């Protein structure tokens, strides 16, 4: 088959080898870096964050605070009090909602965190252990509320048990924030990627669906019967509530999943790696002897008259190189090693064909 400037012919000159090797190295180096995206989103509207009383000392219909009974709370408070509002009002859970994140279903979550800004250091407690959870839902419903709180009419009074009645993810992340942080301090949670991963892996998740994140005191989660409450004092930290730049801000780094065959993945195992490279080189320029298919390394087989494995197919493979776990768990070769092996194997393959 006649070609005016094939990869092989470019490799025949010293200058050509240098140029081609540089290009191969560049493609491989780029391919071994996770092709990720990142999204940062704060609380967008006042009713996207809230708190629910878990263990109030005021019984239902108490005339002192009839709107601060167990299962109720607020969506438009100026602060988000982690752990407890005050000891009289008992423990509480805080929750935040985020949508329009642009994270597609099945994406790989590389890292995630919530960043809070401290408004007031709050009160110390004998327990500062918390668990961060997500709502186990394809598309979380908005927080419900009414405006008819007995003592504070017009305020967004959380619908009864609106947070605690939500299903929780199996995955949870423990957090023990430092006590008495200074006002204005930025505080990051630990990595919460397992929670986000569990949600975006749901079959019904879509990239702009709504996500709910919740932070519970461990003393509440450990109760055999949460309705009974408890007497352990819980650490309080007052965080800035939303909306605004100082609100609880979610940051997620993710890699979108790929749908359909991955270009360059000849054996369709989810990786473009040394196995696929071996397939391409093993079937290099068979010409009319074999009509090559995708499984044989012909990734451009849809092109008119393209029946063999050649330059364009190698470019597809290198341009989508991910690396991956070779058989037996052996280490993935470094980009430079792959590049040198590629150049050497091409030389050998071409000589065998001549």
The pLDDT tens digits for 267-318 are: 877 788 888 888 888 887 766 555 668 888 888 765 545 677 887 888 888 8
The pLDDT tens digits for 162-197 are: 999 999 999 999 999 998 899 999 999 999 999 999
One domain for residues 179 and 63: yes
Task: Point out the domain boundary residue: 221, 255, 289.
Answer: 255
What is the predicted pLDDT for the residue at 221? 94
One domain for residues 105 and 158: yes
pTM of the complete model beyond 0.85 = no
Task: Point out the domain boundary residue: 233, 255, 277.
Answer: 255
Assess whether pLDDT exceeds 50 at residue 83: yes
One domain for residues 190 and 275: no
One domain for residues 201 and 298: no
Q: What percentage of the chain has pLDDT greater than the value 90?
A: 40
Stretch among 55-59, 100-104, 333-337 having the lowest mean pLDDT: 333-337
Domain that residue 192 falls in? 37-255
- φ and ψ at 84, to 5 degrees? -160, 145
One domain for residues 183 and 317: no
Report the domain count for the chain.
2
One domain for residues 109 and 88: yes
The pLDDT tens digits for 317-337 are: 887 776 654 434 444 444 445
Is 198 contained in some domain? Answer: yes
One domain for residues 112 and 30: no
One domain for residues 11 and 129: no
Q: Which residue has the higher pLDDT, 115 or 30?
A: 115
Burial of 279 (0-12, 13-18, 19+ CB in 10 A): buried
CATH of the domain at 72: 2.60.120
């Amino acid at each position: 088959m006649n070609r005016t400037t094939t990869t092989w012919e470019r490799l025949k000159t010293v200058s050509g080898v240098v140029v081609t090797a540089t290009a191969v190295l560049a493609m491989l180096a780029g391919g071994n870096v996770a092709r990720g995206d990142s999204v940062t989103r704060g609380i967008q509207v006042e009713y996207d964050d809230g708190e629910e009383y878990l263990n109030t000392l005021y019984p239902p219909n108490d005339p002192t605070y009839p709107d601060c009974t167990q299962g109720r709370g607020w969506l438009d408070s100026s602060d988000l009090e982690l752990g407890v509002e005050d000891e009289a009002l008992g423990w509480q859970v805080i929750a935040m909602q985020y949508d329009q994140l642009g994270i597609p279903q099945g994406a790989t979550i590389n890292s995630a965190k919530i960043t809070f800004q401290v408004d007031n250091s709050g009160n110390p407690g004998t327990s500062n252990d918390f668990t961060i959870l997500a709502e186990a839902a394809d598309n979380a419903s908005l927080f419900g509320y009414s405006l008819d709180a007995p003592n504070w009419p017009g305020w967004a009074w959380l619908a009864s048990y609106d947070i605690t009645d939500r299903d929780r993810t199996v995955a949870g992340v423990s957090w023990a924030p430092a006590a008495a942080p200074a006002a204005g301090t930025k505080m990051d949670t630990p990595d919460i990627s397992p929670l986000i991963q569990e949600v975006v892996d749901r079959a019904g998740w879509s990239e702009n669906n709504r996500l709910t994140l919740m932070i519970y005191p461990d003393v509440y989660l450990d109760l055999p019967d949460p309705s009974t409450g408890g007497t352990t004092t819980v650490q309080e930290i007052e965080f800035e509530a939303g909306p605004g730049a100082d609100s609880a801000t979610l940051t997620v780094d993710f890699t979108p999943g790929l749908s359909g065959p991955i270009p360059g993945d000849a054996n369709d195992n989810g990786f473009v790696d040394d196995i696929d490279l071996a397939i391409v080189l093993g079937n290099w320029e068979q010409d009319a002897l074999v009509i090559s298919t995708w499984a044989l390394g012909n990734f451009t087989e849809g092109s008119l008259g393209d029946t063999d494995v050649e330059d364009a197919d190698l470019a597809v493979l290198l341009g989508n190189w991910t690396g991956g776990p070779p058989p037996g768990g052996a280490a993935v070769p470094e980009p430079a090693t792959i590049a040198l092996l590629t150049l050497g194997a091409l030389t050998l393959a071409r000589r065998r064909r001549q």
